Amino acid sequence: MKPLQSAPKPELAGRRTADRARREPFLDPYQARRKLKGSTVCPKCGAVYHHGRWQWGQRPDDARAEPCPACRRIADALPAGTVTLHGAFAQQHKEEIIGLARNEEAAEKVEHPLNRIMGIADTPEGLVIDTTDIHLPRRLGEAVKRAFHGNLAMHFDDAGYFVRVDWRAPGWAAPRIRDRAGRAPVRSARRLRQRGCGSPHRQAWSRRRDLRSG
């Protein structure tokens, strides 16, 4: 008889969403399906393809020129990740946030040349940071949360190879859904009866009880 195995513990939603890009074999459409033959250097940023990956280093004499995936994304204006910092707080602390993002990018690029910030823009949704990869957005979002706290949400799009990170300032709460009369959602049977809701049997029982008590 096989011993019973305990059920796996559920992961935290934020961690599960953010880690999927690292654990699952989703393919970047800008990455070559096969290893490039020989040494290759990107003519735009100077990154060198050597030993099966892009890295910083001295250009080999026999290296051929070919744009790296990050420079191709920048040329096509097609980010792999987006960090949106919502609300007036992000605008008020814009310079601090941009400086923090640039420092995180510089630290990330030391070992990962393809992980870069494509651009930072003001939009109606807030301050938006586009990146060339799916890993840097998580790092940027977590850095902002460490510095300013707030709420952080991450979503990975399987089909599109795209990561979206949303940050909102402390004190933000999702708007409560209300009915057509402007009333908040009902959470108890008593409130349902008070509003005249519930099943017809429940309403009839309530009327009979009121008559007996009167």
Over residues 176-192, the pLDDT tens digits come to: 555 555 555 544 445 54
Listed in sequence order, the residues at least 6 apart from 191 whose beta carbon sits closer than 8 Å to its beta carbon are none
* Confidence at residue 191, expressed as pLDDT on a 0 to 100 scale: 54
Residue scoring higher pLDDT (51 or 44): 44
DSSP strands (E only) in 86-210: 117-123, 126-131, 151-157, 162-168
Give me the torsion for CA of 151, 157, 163, 168, rounded to 10°: -20
pLDDT at 22 over 70: no
Rounded distance, CA 198 to CA 201, Å? Answer: 8
CA-to-CA distance for 31 and 41, rounded, in angstroms?
15
pTM given for the model: 0.69
Note whether 144 and 167 are within 8 A (CB).
Answer: yes
Distance, CA of 200 to chain centre: 46
Amino acid identity at 163: V
Residues 124/159, Cβ–Cβ less than 8 Å: no
Who contacts 75 (Cβ-Cβ below 8 Å, separation ≥6)?
67
Residue 6: per-residue pLDDT: 45
Q: Provide the β-strand partners of residue 152.
A: 167
Percent with pLDDT over 90 in the chain: 51
Domain boundaries, the chain: 13-168
User: Model confidence over 75-90: pLDDT tens digits?
Assistant: 999 999 999 999 999 9
